[in-house]
């Protein structure tokens, strides 16, 4: 993680610790490698102050740890919801919602069913490409987690069809490939409403990862704001030079707040560490001020 820095200039003899936040992480309840229990213990050890576990379309990990939060850590409810907009798969991070809200629980149930339908369709398409047995294979990799494309990718490596998970995405599972099926997801509007109706904050996740044209991306952010969305994800993992300036312009154009997270799934040599230092974010813009 990024070490806590002292923030100077707040008055003589005073310094205020800057907040270290992580509002985008995954555990083994979806496609992360670390159990929710181990992840929350590590996050606390690393001095992160505000944390959300945002597994894909499930809050099972959050429910497992919410009553065992280590001292000094503020745990916020979280999830990364799959939805579709303009026939593309889009991710919306929900934070600080009531996990028992009836409409929200129903929404998660619908996503469970959609994920299973989608997994069956992915398996059919892989079978047509000469890889039979993918559904059972991916399910055995997932071991009860919310099933997703990374579990198919892992199975394809284990079964010897590809050399790496990266290759599985590049050839079969990534954007525009046969295993990329987003039509089963609920709409962006319904998804934002499910979070808002449960009292939560809706964040447009990693806007620059959808590889849209600038015009299309502006239309997405406009649709998200129109639907009642609250914030754009300003920092997701390791931003490239220039990313943050583009995202500030998008947020400003629609009077949206900002959120930050590592999108941590596992330790990798070049991956982002847990925790984001929020020293550079002006007061009044961070979603953590609204939770
Ligand atoms: P799903 O939620 O089933 O649609 O799977 C999406 C997940 O797959 C993302 O959250 C990433 O963790 C992972 N992913 C997406 N693209 C790639 C890629 N090119 N290589 C490896 N993992 C990827
Ligand atoms: Mn993922
Ligand atoms: Mn995502
Ligand atoms: Mn994510």
Between 8-17, 77-86, 176-185, 203-212, the lowest mean confidence (pLDDT) is in: 8-17
160-188 pLDDT, tens digit per residue, is 999 999 999 999 999 999 999 999 999 99
Last residue of a domain, one of 145, 173, 201: 173
94 and 210 fall within a common domain: yes
Instruction: Say yes or no: CB of residue 230 within 6 Å of ligand 1.
Output: no
Shortest-distance atom of ligand 1 to CA 118: 3
Question: Could you tell me if 115 and 247 lie in one domain?
Answer: no
Instruction: Look at residue 7 and tell me if it is in a domain.
Output: no
Q: Considering the domain boundaries, does residue 37 fall inside one? A: yes
Where is the domain boundary, 173, 203, 227? 173
Same-domain status, 126 and 97: no
The C-alpha angle with vertex 228 and arms to 222 and 231, in degrees rounded to 5, equals 70
User: Is there a single domain that holds both residue 133 and residue 274?
Assistant: no
Do residue 83 and residue 116 come from a single domain? no
Is 33 part of a structural domain of the chain?
Answer: yes
Do 190 and 92 fall into the same domain? yes
Same domain? 74 vs 159: no
Residues 79 and 218 in one domain: yes
Q: Is residue 75 part of a domain?
A: yes
Asked whether residue 54 is domain-assigned, the answer is yes
Q: What gap in Å lies between CA 107 and CA 112, rounded to an integer?
A: 9
Q: Which of 173, 195, 211 is the last residue of a domain?
A: 173
Q: For the chain, how many structural domains are there in total?
A: 2
Question: Which residues are paired to 83 by β-bridges?
Answer: 90
Tell me the CA–centroid distance for residue 188 and ligand 2, in Å: 18
Tell me if 41 is assigned to some domain: yes
Q: How far is the CA of 7 from the centre of ligand 3 (A)?
A: 31
Q: pTM for the full model?
A: 0.95
- How many whole angstroms separate alpha carbon 182 and alpha carbon 177? 11
Residue 93 sits in the same domain as residue 139: no
Residue 8 has pLDDT above 60, yes or no: no
Domain enclosing residue 160, as ranges: 109-173
User: Is the pLDDT assigned to residue 14 strictly greater than 90?
Assistant: no
In tens, the pLDDT along 266-284 reads: 999 999 999 999 999 999 9
Look up residue 131 and give its two tokens.
């890889």
Q: What band does 18 get if pLDDT is binned at 50, 70 and 90? A: confident
Find all residues with CB under 8 Å of 247, minimum gap 6, and list them: 207, 208, 232, 233, 234, 258
Q: What are the tokens at 61?
A: 């990990």
pLDDT band at 16 (very low <50, low <70, confident <90, very high): low
Kindly tell me the burial class for residue 126, based on how many C-beta atoms sit within 10 Å of its own C-beta (0-12, 13-18, 19 or more): buried
Specify the residue with its C-alpha closest to ligand 1, atom 8: 150
Residue 93 CB neighbours (<10 A): 27
Ligand with the closest atom to the CA of 150 = 1
Same domain, 24 and 86: yes
Confirm or reject: Cβ of 206 under 6 Å from ligand 1.
no
Verify that 56 and 97 share a domain, yes or no: yes
- Which region holds residue 221: left if phi is over 0, alpha if psi is between -120 and 50, else beta? alpha
Query: Same domain, yes or no, for 96 and 115?
Result: no
Whole-number percent of the chain with pLDDT over 90: 93
pLDDT of residue 206: 98
CATH number of the domain within which 217 lies: 3.20.20.140
- Is 6 inside any structural domain? no
Tell me the CATH number at 137.
Answer: 1.10.150.650
């Amino acid at each position: 993680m990024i070490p806590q820095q002292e923030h100077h200039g707040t008055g003589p003899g005073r310094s205020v610790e800057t907040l270290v936040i992580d509002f985008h992480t995954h555990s083994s309840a979806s496609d992360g490698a670390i159990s929710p229990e181990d992840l929350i213990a590590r996050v606390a050890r690393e001095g992160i102050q505000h944390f959300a576990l945002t597994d894909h379309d499930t809050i099972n990990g959050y429910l497992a740890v919410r009553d065992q939060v280590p001292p000094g850590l503020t745990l916020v409810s979280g999830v990364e919801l799959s939805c579709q907009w303009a026939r593309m798969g889009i991710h919306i991070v929900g934070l600080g919602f009531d996990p028992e809200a009836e409409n929200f629980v129903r929404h998660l149930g619908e996503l469970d069913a959609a994920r299973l339908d989608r997994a069956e369709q992915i398996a059919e398409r892989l079978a047509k490409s000469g890889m039979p047995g993918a559904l059972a294979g991916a399910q055995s990799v997932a071991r009860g987690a919310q099933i997703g494309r990374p579990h198919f990718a892992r199975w394809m490596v284990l079964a010897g069809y590809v050399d790496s998970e990266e290759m599985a995405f590049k050839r079969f599972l990534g954007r525009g490939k046969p295993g990329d099926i987003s039509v089963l997801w609920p709409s962006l509007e319904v998804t934002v409403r499910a979070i808002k109706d449960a009292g939560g904050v809706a964040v447009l996740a990693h806007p620059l990862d959808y590889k849209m044209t600038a015009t299309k991306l502006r239309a997405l952010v406009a649709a998200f704001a129109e639907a009642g969305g609250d914030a754009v994800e300003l920092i997701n993992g390791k931003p490239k030079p220039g990313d943050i300036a583009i995202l500030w312009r998008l947020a400003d154009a629609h009077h949206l707040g900002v959120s930050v997270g590592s999108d941590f799934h596992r330790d990798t040599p070049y991956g982002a560490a847990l925790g984001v230092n929020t020293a550079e974010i002006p007061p009044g813009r961070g979603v953590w001020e609204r939770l």
